[in-house]
Amino acid sequence: MERIGLRIRLLKFFNRHPHTKAFGILLPCMFWIGVFFLLPLVFMATYSFLERALYGGVQLIFTWENYTRFVDPLYLKILLRSFRISFLTTVILLIIGYPMAYRIAMADKRWRNILLFLVVLPFWTSDLIRTYAWMLILRDTGLLNFLLQYLHVIKKPLTLLYTEGAILLGLAYVYLPFMVLPLYASIEKLDRSLLEAAEDLGATPFWRFLKVTVPLTKSGILAGSLLVFIPSVGAFIVPDLLGGAKAMMIGNLVQLQFGPSRNWPFGSAASFILMTIVLLAVFTYLRFAGGKEAMEEAR
C-alpha cells in the first residue's frame, strides 16, 4: 500500500510539472553514467596529476611529469603505431566490409538473415580464444607455414606472428561485424529506384557507386568507421597476443602501467592522451568526411 501510494504521488507530481518528466525518465540513465563512467573518469584525471606510490595507487603530490614523460620518442612511436594500425584496419575493413554488406543487403530475403547470422556468429566465442586461434595459425610452426611448406611454396617458415601485419589481420578479423552491420543497415535502406534512376541517366556501375550509393550510405560508412577505429586504437588483446613486445600499441602500454609496472598515474595520463586524440580525430573526421549533410542524414 505504502509503495503504491508513493508511485501515485510521483505520477501526480510529474503531471503537475510536465517539464520534469523527461528528467525523471533520464534519471536512472544519468545515475548509471555518473557512477560508472564519469566518476572513474574524474578519478583517473586526478590520478594522472599525482605521483605514483610504490605498490600501485598514488601519493597526494601534484606533478606534470606523467604527461611530460610521454614526449619520449619511445612512447610517441607507440602512439603513432596505434593510430597507423587503427587507420589501416578501418580502411581495410571498409574495403572488405562494403562489398560484403552490399551483397548481403541485395541478397534474397531468405538468404539475408542467414548471411547476417554468419557475420555475427564469431561473437559467440570470446575474442581472446579467437585471437589465440590466430596465433596457432600464424606462428612459425603454425598451420599456415606448415601448409605453405607442405605445398613447397616456401622453404623456411615465414615470420608472421609478432608483426604489425598480424595485428592488422587480427583487428580486421575481430572488428569485421562492427563494420558490416552499420553498412548493411544503411545499404538495406537504400531506395533501389535511385540506383535505377542513376543507371537510366547514363551512369556506369562504377560512377553510380561513387555518385549515388556511397553518398547515400554515408551514415553507415561513418558509423562503421568509428565503431572500428575507436576500439582498435585502444585494443590490447590482439596486439598483445599477435604483436607481442615488438609491436606494442597504446592499449598495451596502459595495461602495462596498471598491471605489472604499477604506475597508475602514468597509465591514467596515457589514457587521457589517447582519449583526447581520439576525440579530436573523430570530430575532425565527422566534420570533413561527414559535412553538414551527413549530420542531418544521421538524424
Task: Report the interface residues with other proteins, using CB under 8 A.
Answer: 191, 193-194, 196-204, 207, 211-212, 215-216, 293, 297
Judging by DSSP bridges, how do beta strands 50-52 and 58-62 pair with one another? antiparallel
Contact call for residues 104 and 112 (beta carbons, < 8 A): yes
Query: 59 forms bridges with which residues in the sheet?
Result: 51
Q: Which is nearer to other proteins, 45 or 201 (CB)?
A: 201
Residue 146 C-beta: closest distance to other proteins, Å: 47
Residue 108 C-beta: closest distance to other proteins, Å: 13
Q: Which is nearer to other proteins, 89 or 213 (CB)?
A: 213
Q: Which is nearer to other proteins, 45 or 197 (CB)?
A: 197
Residue 192 C-beta: closest distance to other proteins, Å: 9
Q: Which is nearer to other proteins, 146 or 207 (CB)?
A: 207
Q: Which is nearer to other proteins, 80 or 194 (CB)?
A: 194
95, three cell numbers: 574495403
Contact call for residues 276 and 77 (beta carbons, < 8 A): no
| 269 sits in which H/E element | helix 264-285
Q: Map residue 125 onto helix, strand or coil.
A: coil
Residue 208 C-beta: closest distance to other proteins, Å: 8
**Residue 141: C-alpha distances to residues 48, 148, 159, 220, 248 (Å):** 43, 11, 10, 40, 23
53, three cell numbers: 606510490
Q: Which is nearer to other proteins, 164 or 199 (CB)?
A: 199
Q: Which is nearer to other proteins, 65 or 199 (CB)?
A: 199
Residue 187 C-beta: closest distance to other proteins, Å: 15
Residue 189 C-beta: closest distance to other proteins, Å: 12
CA nearest 103: which of 111, 58, 206? 111
Contacts of 12 (CB under 8 A, 6+ apart): none
Residue 299 C-beta: closest distance to other proteins, Å: 13
The 10 Å CB-count burial string (b at 16+, else e) for 77-101 is ebbebbbebbebbbebbbeebbebb
